[in-house]
Amino acid sequence: MSSVTATRTPSGPSTDRPVAPALAEALRPFVAGDLPVRLIAWDGSVAGPEDAPVVELRSPDALRRLLWHPGELGAAQAYVTGELDVPGDLDAALTYAFAVAKERGLSGRRPSPQAMISAVRTALELGEGRLGLLGRPPAPPASQARIRGRLHSKLRDIRSISHHYDLSNEFYSLILDPSMAYSCGYHASPDQPLEDAQFAKLSLICRKLGLQPGMRLLDVGCGWGSLSLHAAEHFGAQVTGVTIAAEQKKFIDARIAERGLQDRVTIRLLDYRDAVPAAGQEYDAVSSIEMGEHVGQDNYPTYATVLHDSVRPGGRVLVQQMSRTGKWPGGGPFIESFIAPDMYMRPVGETVAFLERGGLEVRDVHALREHYVLTVAGWIERFEANVERLTELVGEEVVRVWRLYLVGGSMAFRDGRMGVDQILMVKPGAPHSLPAVRDF
């Protein structure tokens, strides 16, 4: 695994106390016993079981971050900057850490004030008095999002989406399959190639929507155009896609020209709230693939209304969306700070209720959670195969952000902390014919 070169704290008053054993003792109240990992500190000292996953603290700055931001955020900041490293299999190490936390009941555990004081005292000593605990916290990593403005205003949404999606089209092309589908695929078997699984997913969506040649489709949050292009090329649809990511529109427009689809696909740089057609001009079908997570909890009723108002009576709507239970609807401190600011997920039942209250009749909910594990595995394989070029494009810190993101996301779907579903709906008001689920 590649790693950022961490900058050591300038030398100051020295201490003869080995760092790793001292930290292991100070951390006992926080980990409910002996250190569960093999800890290697910046002074070369070691503590913890020999057969446990290795964690390297390469700089006292890692302690500063953990003291200012205890838990996931501080650890993530230290990891992406290279002040903390986990050599070897990151998935195995994180899986082990989750298992230990569950076994020891560490979730929500609050160490005593005495334990906190002792930990701070140890950190001050081991950091050679240079941790600056009474001054400002360490500067956030350059890759951490800095999004300002009113939550889910149109300008803030553009900034949030840009943070994640405008890294560069080449960056994403080295991770995603050739269709550039940045969503869960549909895997017939665990060994099915990623490209085939994405083709199967796109075709499944088009069949569920009942697309026929000449039908008009609105693709809300069209990404890099995988569905928009697929619906036009393979089902003969007339497609309008909307996105607020300028890099995505630039990419899709080039593909439209390459494939001679100018008369069948139009991409608009447009907020979903401005995509509703005039009365009488509603689309025959509407899709929105893993975009609803980004509209926010308060705006979801508006999103549901947009979907409803954009389709003709009797027309079908398909939403593919991630779900989540627990106390972190945004995905947790790391995801919210580094990957997808302002994202909001909820249990699928709550999303279905929102869509029903928006006037749509839900006809089918198709769970794909296990499929996402396989999709992300394909992305990780491509990521690691192209890591040198990815590093040239975005730098080592962003590469570390993405390694943590992909591995952590795979684990969340594997362990059931997150799900993803295709929700098929119809707008009441006209006769329609909907095949049975088995006929899709």
The SS3 assignment for 409 reads helix
Q: How many Cα neighbours within 13 Å face the side chain of 275?
A: 32
Give the tens place of pLDDT for each residue, 38-87: 999 999 999 999 999 999 999 988 988 988 888 899 999 999 999 999 99
Instruction: Please give the C-alpha separations between residue 369 and each of 45, 154, 184, 422, in angstroms, as whole numbers.
Output: 42, 31, 9, 10
Quick one: pLDDT at residue 431? 65
Quick one: pLDDT at residue 161? 81
Question: What is the separation of C-alpha 310 from the centre of its chain, rounded to a whole number of angstroms?
Answer: 28
Task: Determine the residue type at 126.
Answer: L
Sign of CA dihedral 147, 151, 156, 161: positive
- The pLDDT of 24-47, averaged and rounded, is 91
pLDDT above 70 (res 439):
no
**When comparing pLDDT for 3 and 276, which is higher?**
276
CA dihedral 246, 248, 253, 255 (to 10 degrees): 160
Quick one: pLDDT at residue 111? 66
What is the C-alpha radius of gyration for the chain, rounded to an integer number of angstroms?
Answer: 24
DSSP result, 187-204: -SSTTS-HHHHHHHHHHH
* Phi (first) and psi of residue 167, to 5 degrees: -60, -40
* Phi (first) and psi of residue 309, to 5 degrees: -75, -15
Task: Determine the residue type at 405.
Answer: Y
Quick one: pLDDT at residue 157? 81
Give the tens place of pLDDT for each residue, 116-141: 677 777 766 665 544 444 456 889 99
- The model carries a pTM of 0.90
